[in-house]
Amino acid sequence: MKNEGNGVKSTGKGKKKRFYDWDYTHNDIEVYDRNRRHLGSMNPTTGKMYKGPVKGRVLPND
């Protein structure tokens, strides 16, 4: 994984690019697409998505 700064990691390049950001409030990983739109929350132990996207949530451009 590539470090994007500010604690955000990414899978690299292309259409399937994903950004991963640790959520300290809920102790899970927030997942965003290449357009920085929220896709949901991932369990950090199993890697499975268990929460759906939150409408309007985007990853800030820091």
Per-residue pLDDT reduced to its tens digit, 39-53: 999 999 999 999 999
Within a domain: 43: yes
The model's pTM is 0.85
How many domains are there within the chain? Answer: 1
Compute the average pLDDT of residues 11-32: 92
Within a domain: 57: no
Q: What is the pLDDT of residue 13?
A: 85
Within a domain: 59: no
Within a domain: 62: no
How many CB atoms sit inside 10 A of residue 32's CB?
21
Cα 52-37-16 angle, rounded to 5 deg? 90
- Domain containing 31 equals 2-51
Sequence-separated (6 or more) residues with CB below 8 Å from residue 60: 36
Q: What is the pLDDT of residue 62?
A: 65
